[in-house]
Amino acid sequence: MARRWFLAGLFLAFLLLGGFHVAALISDGDSDGHYLHHGWLIMRGELSLYENSQTGHRTIFPYWLIGLSQVLFGPSLLAGRAFSLLAGWAGLLILWRATHRALGEPAGTLTLLLLASSQYLLSHFAVAAFHGLAFFWVALGAWFLIASDSQ
Does 9 or 135 have the greater pLDDT score? 135
User: Could you tell me which of 2, 3, 18 has the C-alpha nearest to residue 92?
Assistant: 18
pLDDT of residue 47: 80
Residue 140 clears pLDDT 90, i.e. is over it: yes
- What are the residues whose beta carbons fall under 8 Å from the beta carbon of 122, sequence distance 6 or more? 15, 18, 19, 22, 88, 116
Q: Which amino acid is at 105?
A: E
Residue 9 clears pLDDT 70, i.e. is over it: yes
